[in-house]
Amino acid sequence: MPDRINNEVMSRIVRPTTYGTPEVLALTEAPVPSAAADGVVVEVRAAGVNPIDWKLYSGAFHAVDEDHKDAAGIAASMPSLGLECAGVVTEIGADVTSVQVGDEVIVYPVTAAYADYVTAPATAVLAKPATLGWAEAGSLMLCGTTAAHALHATGAGAGDTVLIHGGSGGVGLMAIQLATAAGATVIATAAERNHALLRELGAIPVAYGPGLADRVRTAAPQGVTAAIDCAGTGEALDVSLELAADRTRIASITGSPRRAEAGIKLLGYGPGQDAGTDIRNAARPTLVEHAAAKTLRVVIAKSFPLAEAAAAHTFGQASHTPGKLVLIP
């Protein structure tokens, strides 16, 4: 629970102290910031964990600037962690009329949600339906909006047979459900142990690995019309190119030079990728509505206390347990 120092409410924040593996994560403290005029402060009840969180401090993206350190002694260039959460509004800015103090909300997009409190623009906040648990609410959005973008980019819908690579991942589980709800037949790849779950969600599961193209042909003799790559492997790219004739109906949410050269759609925030900001924003209320109505399931793999974020990241990198990891302050 949050501390008080000199009567100031303090927020615990998990931050990487330098680039590296999950051991570099530390629990630091800072005063809870005030809300901007158009913003809110939210007491976090659940923060979704995503692979981007550990990639951000892995050293893959940026070099550390050791010369500029903040009050916690951490290089100011180190990334904040936590891109989605759910919680209770504790303060609103002077210009905010869309939410009230005490409202239960979902916050996305946001930064630094691995914390007791987070600030966000009011536009990032949607009401949390009472039927949706905190863990589900805190981990619905990043994967849900990405999956919605992938469906939009590939035009996947009724009459299509869609191949989804990484169907048992956070994004894949959402993409399966959105595609089947749109009337598509879905073939999804996953480790064998996750096939029962994929079947429950309406997909025809196939194992990835050598022989994948033939297994997909057997599962879908009618042919594949669109493909969504959430796995990022060479195999996922090769099999998509082999089976889906129209490259404009193949989308990948993972980047690679080969993907960039292949003429497929690259979705995300890297160079040459389409961030799909408007599409993703527009998808948020519909995702909440479907999750509230239980027509969209947010599969939770495991929850960890906020202070155990490093363990959550170690688990996430090693595990093939399907579903989301969540941090609970």
Ligand X SMILES: NC(=O)c1ccc[n+]([C@@H]2O[C@H](COP(=O)([O-])OP(=O)(O)OC[C@H]3O[C@@H](n4cnc5c(N)ncnc54)[C@H](OP(=O)(O)O)[C@@H]3O)[C@@H](O)[C@H]2O)c1
Q: Shortest Cβ distance from residue 262 to ligand X (Å)?
A: 16
Q: Shortest Cβ distance from residue 110 to ligand X (Å)?
A: 15
DSSP H stretches of helix in 114-194: 134-138, 141-154, 170-181
Nearest residue to 249 via CA among 146, 176, 165, 162: 162
Q: Shortest Cβ distance from residue 269 to ligand X (Å)?
A: 6
Q: Shortest Cβ distance from residue 329 to ligand X (Å)?
A: 21
Nearer to ligand X, 58 or 90 (CB): 58
| CA dihedral of residues 85, 175, 53, 82 (deg, nearest 10) | -10
Q: Shortest Cβ distance from residue 102 to ligand X (Å)?
A: 31
Residue whose token pair is 């050293």 = 59
Nearer to ligand X, 45 or 149 (CB): 149
CA distance 35 to 17: 26
Nearer to ligand X, 89 or 253 (CB): 253
Q: How many CA atoms lie within 13 A of 256 on its CB side?
A: 16
Residues near ligand X (CB under 6 A): 50-52, 142-143, 146, 165-172, 189-191, 194, 208, 230-233, 236, 253-254, 267-268, 320
Strands (E), the chain: 4-5, 8-16, 25-31, 39-49, 85-92, 104-107, 117-121, 125-127, 161-165, 185-189, 204-206, 226-229, 250-252, 265-266, 300-305, 324-328
Q: Shortest Cβ distance from residue 317 to ligand X (Å)?
A: 8
CA distance 239 to 236: 5
Instruction: Give the angle 289-299-2 at the CA atoms, nearest 5°.
Output: 85
Nearer to ligand X, 39 or 276 (CB): 276
Q: Which residue is nearest to ligand X (CB)?
A: 169
Nearer to ligand X, 102 or 271 (CB): 271
Q: Shortest Cβ distance from residue 280 to ligand X (Å)?
A: 8
What are residue 250's DSSP bridge partners? Answer: 227
Nearer to ligand X, 103 or 235 (CB): 235
CA distance 288 to 153: 21
Nearer to ligand X, 28 or 146 (CB): 146
Amino acid occupying residue 209: G
